Structure 1
Amino acid sequence: MNRVRCLVFNAALGPLDYRVPEGMTVEPGSVVVAPLGPRQIVGVVWEAERLPASEVPDAKLRPLLQVLPVPPLAAPLRRLIEWCADYYVTSLASVARMALSSSAALRGGGTVTEYRLTGHEPARLTPQRAQALDLLNGQQGTIRELAEIAGVSDAVLRGMVNAGILEAVLVDSDRPYPAPDPRHAEPDLSAEQAEAAAKMVAAVEAHEFRPYLLDGVTGSGKTETYSEAIAAAIAQGRQVLVLLPEIALTESFLKRFEARFGVPPVTWHSSLKSSERRRAWRQVAFGQARVVVGARSALFLPFARLGLIVVDEAHEISFKQDDGVRYNARDVAVMRAHFESVPVVLASATPALESLQMAEAGRYERLVLPSRFGGATLPDIRVVDLREQQPPRGQWLAPALVDALKDRLLKGEQSLLFLNRRGYAPLTLCRTCGHRFQCPNCSAWLVEHRLSRRLACHHCGYEVPPPDACPECGEKDCLVACGPGVERIADEVAAILPQARVALVTSDTLTSPAKAAEFVAQAEAKAIDVIVGTQLVTKGFHFPELTLVGVVDADMGLEGGDLRAAERTYQQVAQVAGRAGRGEKPGEVLIQTRHPDAPVIEALASGDRDAFYAAETEARREANAPPFGRWAAIIVSSEDEAEARDAARAIGGTAPRLKDVLVLGPAPAPLSLLRGRYRYRLLINARRSTELQRVIREWLDPLRFAPGVRVAVDVDPYSFV
């Protein structure tokens, strides 16, 4: 009798055995439909020897119902799923679910109705129809897609269908994407770029695992360099995955990719429509999607012939998932490349300390691009001491920075102001009674967003309109905004430079790749004089006319006692400074700070990155912190505070007593209430040689908690709130 073991997407059940009906063919990795009680569930056939399960007599096995029409998950992807579940102390099912992230794609091909112009043009047209006719020439798509292209409503296009101006066409919803041409527009590389590119190309052609750290200053042409390795993989008929940290960067990258290879790559991120995700997933699985550019979840797509992985801006903390499976896409990318036997490129101007240490140890090969491309020079950096150059009362820009902004405006050049704080003000209080507006679901202040007229929690999404009177004392017109956010800085710029055209760039304004593309087009067309933005503007953008960068509050990231605070501050400020002077004109950076003697500020001012990293490395070594030691967090939460506290104490009371393992806590988390759940944390510090995951499993597995308690493990944590 033919029996198989299936990984089903229910972590509480574990693997289940089924009978394979006569005539049905399955293999490890096959995606199947199986019965579970009265329900039907999706599962993946797995090697029985790799998944221990309770032995069930053959006679009691129920038969599989169907093999879904998708290629089996390949062995390298199954090994990656196993590694992630083991390393991040989570269930196999929760990781495997990320590989089958489009349920529509599993059910097979289908058709979709699209529309195109018929060539019929009535004698009289409304202005909207005339506009649609002009913009839709040669275009084909769904009503929704064509409406976005034409800038008209769906109703206008449906009227054009009824009038015979547009006709319906039935197309395959999973039609192949156009193939990129590796020789479309080959760049003229510098000697340094060519040397680095040659090494990566050789690894691609050898089909071997080799991790590279592409360490190049901002503006050095890292994208053009690793694009040669992409071209080599395409020429071999293999697939490429490029990971980007932010959706907002996607459109800018797509334009550069299309200019190089003739067609845009396939995209994968959370803003895709269901039909787009289905098409992309199936084309990846069948090997037809040649280059995929995506967010961290693209790592688990079922590539048929993967030949190269690139992680751009590899230092970015947004590659770390903070809920669900708490994985770091940078590290998982390296492991996927290992299992697939392909090269992986980590590209960054400010690499993570862990990546530099891996290069130092010889685990990664470091490729250095030390100078900007095309003769552009790095910007001059000046520190503005806010203790000596105080802004006027109620303002946040020091006189030196204001003068520099005025100078650039007179010269017709662009400026950028960076403050990593969304909204207008981080805190609103009553000047009469001192009442502070706090989120009812989280232990966090509500942030005022004056553009949308709301008070919002940035942790759970709670929103409320600003009240006319204080809810505590009833006094009217008494609410005061405390501290600056980017909206407040934009208002200050508008008051100082009323003639300047100001763009506000945050995740609240760039809510889609299309809006990001619109911002980039305006900046490139010199329709913007001053950009005011959060960390979204610190990476990926290239504006030749941008010659001034002002960092409004360089000290903000140093607060809170985070292990990586200094490193993150250095990376953010260095990245945003790198936006200046990328063209022919020299750039200047002004860093506002109240702590000019802080090591990170001195390193930024002197441009001595190596000295900063050396000092940071020694501090980590002494603290037995990553990359020299291991950290993990255990987060306990419940809607009942006593329940969460008792569970955390039970975990703390059974903590292992091991020489190389230090357990701190439990203690209330800094964000002790989040989305209506009370939170406690324990922090584990261990030597690098310790089998930390095994220690945690043996510690937690015997414990039982109340039904409302959640216990999450975060290996290599980045967030300490």
Structure 2
Amino acid sequence: MEPASFSSLLHDDAPPPPAPKQVRQRVAVLLPMPFPGPFDYAAPADMPLQPGDIVVVPLGRRQETGVVWESSPSLPADFAPPPQRSVDANRLRPVAELLDLPPLPAELRHFIDWVAAYTLSPPGMVLAMTLRLHMRGVPVPSMGWLLADPLPATLRITPARQKILDRLKDGIARTTTDLASAAGVGPGVVKGLADAKALQSVKLGPERIFAAPDPHHNPPVLEGEQQTATAALRQTVRDGGFSVTLLEGVTGSGKTEIYLEAIAACLEQGKQALVLLPEIALSAQWMQRFVRRFGAEPAVWHSEIGQRARRLTWHSTANGSATVVVGARSALFLPFANLGLIIVDEEHESLFKQEEGVIYNARDMAVVRARLSGFPMALVSATPSLETLANAEAGRYRHLILPSRHGGASLPDTQILDMREHPPPRGLFLSPALTEELSATFARQEQAMLFLNRRGYAPLTLCRTCGHRMECPHCTAWLVEHRAKKLLSCHYCDHTEPMPAACPTCGSDDSLTAIGPGIERITEEARQLFPDARILVMASDTLGGPATTAEAVAKISRREVDLIIGTQVVAKGWHFPHLTLVGIVDADLGLGGADLRAGERTIQLLHQVAGRAGRASTPGRVLLQSYTPMHPVMQALVSGDFDAFMAQEAEQRRPGFWPPYGRLAALIISADDAKEADATAAALARVAPYGEGIQVLGPVPAPIAVLRNRHRRRLLLRTVRTIAVQPILRRWLGMVKPGRTVRIDVDIDPISFL
């Protein structure tokens, strides 16, 4: 939107108010909306405003919440958005209200500007991740009671009243509920004393809903490599200043315990800490470890918590009473009062990349937030991303390595089951060699796991008579059968429809057949093979949320489960001491297609899954069912040489300056009409940038060419590492005016190529 067109929102075509005699302060206010920058307003003479103040301002005929803004001193010149047209002072509308809220810290405001400029997003949409959901329903300070001085001479004292008076002799104000509970009487006794003027009401401070984690509560006993890494990380936190540490360790090496000690060092300095996890709603065991170490739970931030909890957490981070927050990627935008440490656990996980709205990678933006604010952070993984390894190799990140498991546990023995030599029976998917190992494991009263990263019963349903394939009506994707619910579902747009009895094309009855296995089909096969085994399915659509996940974990720990069958959820750092066998049903899944990171992602996922086996005293085994046993990923998993595989990946990417040795950005054009998408993509191609070290690939249809009824085309901009893509993209996009229904999304540093 052009500045001239949105300036009308500021004055609503109404006559300007009469100019007051006082000189009014001009302030820029950023709103959590997709405008290219802040709007100018006038601060009333009795309302001096500072950057960061949260205010209510008129916008058109309504009022909106925004933040007083200023230009960011930390923004690179190449990233700066174009200047906006200024509104005449006599046409400025006044700020309506200054909210009684903590101002957004300067570091957070500069971070928002940086993220907006890097991702080519409207800054207001980045601000929305901090502001939008949490401004209304602000927690009101509670009222408490103190003893009146002097007590009324005519006050009648009863045993119940005396208990209240005794409780208040320490001079600490308490709420009605707390006071009655502490004295063991009813709230009516407190009310009676108040009516008798024996108590005086006072406003209490902010509600502290989070107990303070104690850094000295239960420190672990660490030895050898763990102790060395812990000392180094704690010293980094004590020294302060910006730094990034890569904590790399094999599965079961105690990485969590080590970075919890870094959090303890942060708390000892009176600062706040943030831990980012890829799937916080599923991290029941992590919470148990935290409570065991610190004696209290951290504040939690993710999509599963309710709005009141979100508001309380937002305000507690702003006033500093929430000293440790564990959350999903959006927790990075909370208004911490004194943030001193960020931990990104499982830093290689693609779930840290937000793919819609503001498209950003929380791992990379966490590094930026730490740098802008000048404090240390740590990236933690058993299988670090190639980007992170390249930064460590270049000396930009410190690298701590834990090569062995904690407590004397050994790494599992990994073997490949060549499915050409050990094929399963017709119509089944588990090799006889794998089922024999499962039987032996159950006979020893040990637990086993089967892994298949595919939800549902089958990924494709077709008609045996005419060959019709059941497709999503809104996407270029097959419908996945969910047999337990008797539904066909699209995993891209969530479209569902009942499983038909007859083919919708030829009308043949009972001709639809499932092709390929999903996790439900493997469960069905396992129940037939092992009717006495106690089976638990762990997938995102079966676990539901934190409560059901915690119960599932408890059942496994109590040895009430013999066989776990799961999708990628089971790879998330679980510690099951009695699990000794992991069978990977389709190790080749994910290696197909032209995805730049297919091999890297597959080895990371399978390595993490394999790491669930043999984490205690009993050795573990991992069996990989594969039709391509000589693939480099399979060979690296068998040898356990993750470093050699990643070095090979680096050598393949370096010559073509593919990330991390070059820069990459994607333009995704989408439109209601295929011709409009093609026309805009062709227009972009005609004016594509060129020059030494710059290459544009495309346009081509995206792999998911239709998504939610929108036709999609893709171009890739690739440059050498010394050339920033943002200025090039800004100029390039400014040369093309898309159609009314066309949207162009920019993905800097893309991870997914769908």
Pair 1:468 & 2:493 matched: no
Structure 1 outlier segments of 4+, above 6 Å: none
Give 1:230's aligned residue. Answer: 263
Deviations 1:438-497 (A, max 9, x none): 000100000001122210000000001101111111111111000001111111111111
CA shift for structure 1 position 526: 0.6
- For 1:206 and 1:26, how far apart are their aligned partners in 2? 35
* Structure 2 counterpart of 1:563, one-letter code: L
Q: Is the 8 A contact 2:134 2:314 kept in 1?
A: no
- For 1:323 and 1:255, how far apart are their aligned partners in 2? 32
Give 2:115's aligned residue. Answer: 84
Written as runs of structure 1 = structure 2, the 5 A alignment for 1:384-463 is 384-463=417-496
Give 1:32's aligned residue. Answer: 55
Give 2:694's aligned residue. Answer: 661
**Which of 76, 91, 98 lines up with 2:129 in the alignment?**
98
Written as runs of structure 1 = structure 2, the 5 A alignment for 1:239-318 is 239-318=272-351
Pair 1:639 & 2:672 matched: yes
Give 1:9's aligned residue. Answer: 32
CA shift for structure 1 position 48: 5.0
- For 2:84 and 2:710, how far apart are their aligned partners in 1? 34
Give 2:101's aligned residue. Answer: 70
**Which of 41, 49, 61 lines up with 1:18 in the alignment?**
41
Unaligned runs of 5+ in 1: 113-139, 142-170
* Structure 1 counterpart of 2:594, one-letter code: G
Q: Is the 8 A contact 2:32 2:131 kept in 1?
A: no
Give 2:67's aligned residue. Answer: 44
* Structure 1 counterpart of 2:528, one-letter code: A
Q: Is the 8 A contact 1:3 1:20 kept in 2?
A: yes
- For 1:176 and 1:249, how far apart are their aligned partners in 2? 22
- For 2:523 and 2:281, how far apart are their aligned partners in 1? 20
Matched residue SS, 1:705 = coil
Deviations 1:618-661 (A, max 9, x none): 00112211110111110000111111111111111111122211
Pair 1:348 & 2:381 matched: yes
Mean Cα deviation higher: 654-663 or 272-281: 654-663
Matched residue SS, 1:237 = coil
**Which of 384, 389, 394 lines up with 1:361 in the alignment?**
394
Matched residue SS, 2:543 = coil
Matched residue SS, 1:549 = strand
Larger gyration radius, structure 1 or structure 2? 2
- For 2:136 and 2:564, how far apart are their aligned partners in 1? 41
Q: Return the TM-score normalized by structure 1.
A: 0.90
Pair 1:192 & 2:225 matched: yes
* Structure 1 counterpart of 2:124, one-letter code: A
Matched residue SS, 2:347 = coil
- For 2:375 and 2:480, how far apart are their aligned partners in 1? 45
* Structure 2 counterpart of 1:703, one-letter code: V
Written as runs of structure 1 = structure 2, the 5 A alignment for 1:125-204 is 174-204=207-237
CA shift for structure 1 position 607: 0.9
Aligned pair in 2 of structure 1 residues 600, 697: CA closer, same or farther (>3 Å)? same
CA shift for structure 1 position 274: 0.6
- For 1:265 and 1:10, how far apart are their aligned partners in 2? 31
Matched residue SS, 2:540 = coil
- For 2:538 and 2:92, how far apart are their aligned partners in 1? 58
Q: Is the 8 A contact 1:317 1:718 kept in 2?
A: yes
* Structure 2 counterpart of 1:30, one-letter code: D
Deviations 1:379-433 (A, max 9, x none): 0011110111111111111111111100111111011111111110000111111
Give 2:190's aligned residue. Answer: none
Q: Is the 8 A contact 1:240 1:292 kept in 2?
A: yes
Give 2:609's aligned residue. Answer: 576
- For 1:286 and 1:12, how far apart are their aligned partners in 2? 29
- For 1:339 and 1:453, how far apart are their aligned partners in 2? 52
* Structure 1 counterpart of 2:359, one-letter code: R
Deviations 1:565-620 (A, max 9, x none): 00011101110000000011000000111111111111111111121111111001
Deviations 1:83-112 (A, max 9, x none): 111111111111111111433457453779
Give 2:734's aligned residue. Answer: 701
* Structure 2 counterpart of 1:99, one-letter code: T
Pair 1:524 & 2:524 matched: no
Q: Is the 8 A contact 1:70 1:106 kept in 2?
A: no
Matched residue SS, 1:85 = helix
Matched residue SS, 2:438 = helix
Matched residue SS, 1:531 = strand
CA shift for structure 1 position 250: 2.5
- Between the aligned residues of both structures, percent identity stands at 52
Q: Return the TM-score normalized by structure 2.
A: 0.86
Superposition CA RMSD, Å? 1.8
* Structure 2 counterpart of 1:574, one-letter code: H
- For 2:318 and 2:382, how far apart are their aligned partners in 1? 33
Matched residue SS, 1:187 = coil
CA shift for structure 1 position 705: 1.5
- For 1:630 and 1:529, how far apart are their aligned partners in 2? 47
Matched residue SS, 2:400 = strand
Pair 1:603 & 2:602 matched: no
* Structure 1 counterpart of 2:645, one-letter code: F
CA shift for structure 1 position 501: 0.8
Aligned pair in 2 of structure 1 residues 649, 91: CA closer, same or farther (>3 Å)? same
Give 2:140's aligned residue. Answer: 109
Aligned pair in 2 of structure 1 residues 271, 41: CA closer, same or farther (>3 Å)? same
Matched residue SS, 2:666 = strand
Unaligned runs of 5+ in 2: 1-22, 74-80, 144-176, 179-203
Deviations 1:100-125 (A, max 9, x none): 1433457453779xxxxxxxxxxxxx
- For 2:465 and 2:406, how far apart are their aligned partners in 1? 57
Pair 1:60 & 2:94 matched: no
Pair 1:209 & 2:232 matched: no
Pair 1:558 & 2:570 matched: no
Give 2:720's aligned residue. Answer: 687
Report the count of equivalent residues.
Answer: 666
Q: Is the 8 A contact 2:210 2:322 kept in 1?
A: yes
- For 1:497 and 1:173, how far apart are their aligned partners in 2? 57
